Amino acid sequence: MKTKDSTIMFAVSAVIALAAFIILVASVYSKMFYEKRINNLMNGSSNQLTEAYILLLDPSPFAGYTNIDGSSILTSTLSVLNTHYALNSQIDEKYIEDVKTLLGYRMMGTTLGLRSSVYFFLISAALSIAGLISRKKENSLKQNDR
């Protein structure tokens, strides 16, 4: 039995749509819950700022700190905060701009995830349309052969 092109297109479209959905869920969760909580913590005491820093050590899935250029501001910011936290076990208010920098990178990663999911949904839709066109042509050829 020969596999139809439209079947392959629909299968690939479904896989891409599933990937887009997973990325979308992760990004929306990060934006609505994680980043909101960190923002609220940054407006509080030194202990809350420390908690925000600890939460930011786990970056967005799409903004891993290891993927950043070694000469960037983020690398030096992480180095300063990590050293300060290791020595003092807390982050002081004077480092709030550095914590905001980390939050900014996390927010950019979340935005990248949201935009990527839209892109993948568009690819999935295009493949589905191509599959429908292909199926229509297959059916018309089948009717002409009769």
Contact 20, 120 (CB under 8 A): yes
**Does position 106 have pLDDT exceeding 90, yes or no?**
no
**pLDDT at residue 80, rounded to an integer:** 74
Report the alpha-carbon distance of residue 94 to residue 117 in Å, rounded.
37
Least confident of 78-87, 101-110, 113-122, 127-136: 78-87
Which whole-number Å values give the CA distances from 95 to 52, 64, 99, 101, in the listed order?
Answer: 12, 21, 6, 10
Q: What is the mean pLDDT of residues 17-41?
A: 90
Structural domain boundaries of the chain? 5-145
| CA 107 to mean position of chain CA atoms | 9
Buried residues in 42-55 as b, exposed as e (16+ CB within 10 A): beeeeeebbbbbeb
pLDDT tens for 6-16 read: 888 999 999 99
Lowest mean pLDDT among 11-15, 115-119, 140-144: 140-144
**pLDDT per residue over 31-88, tens digit each?**
898 888 888 888 777 778 888 878 887 766 766 666 555 556 666 777 777 777 677 7
The pLDDT score that the predictor gives to residue 100 is 82
Note the pLDDT of residue 69. 58
In whole angstroms, give the CA distance from residue 41 to residue 36: 9
For range 89-118, the mean pLDDT: 84
Q: What average pLDDT does this structure show over 128-145?
A: 83
Give the three-class secondary structure for 135. Answer: helix
> For residue 71, which phi and psi values (nearest 5 degrees)?
-95, 10
Q: For the CA atoms of 120, 124, 130, 131, what is the dihedral angle to 10 degrees?
A: 150
Identify the pLDDT of residue 1. 47
What pTM was estimated for this model as a whole? 0.78
